[in-house]
Amino acid sequence: MSGITLDSINASIAERVAALEASLAAEMDNYDAATADQQSLIRLQMGLQKWTMATNLQSNALKTLGDGLKSTVSNIR
């Protein structure tokens, strides 16, 4: 039986977070403060914002689902 589980949601979001993290790490490796222009700073900032939003989504989604499941179990008792 397949369905929505905490593990499946976490795995799905974690995969995207890992991709964004790798992209951000590559962007940071290529960043050179001595030759940085406005475009490279904006790219770096956008990468950081995407990663931050993805990690917040992962955290909030798991907390919300966990709280909902705890509430359901509590109501069954």
pLDDT higher than 80, residue 16:
yes
User: What share of the chain has pLDDT > 70, as a percent?
Assistant: 97
Q: What is the pLDDT of residue 2?
A: 64
pLDDT higher than 80, residue 15:
yes
Is residue 23 within 8 Å of residue 49, measured between CB atoms? no
Domains of the chain, by residue range, sit at 16-76
Rounded alpha-carbon distances, angstroms, from residue 35 to 32, 39, 41, 46: 6, 11, 11, 19
Residues 29-60: pLDDT tens digits? 988 888 889 998 999 999 999 999 999 999 99
User: What share of the chain has pLDDT > 90, as a percent?
Assistant: 45
Q: What is the pLDDT of residue 1?
A: 47
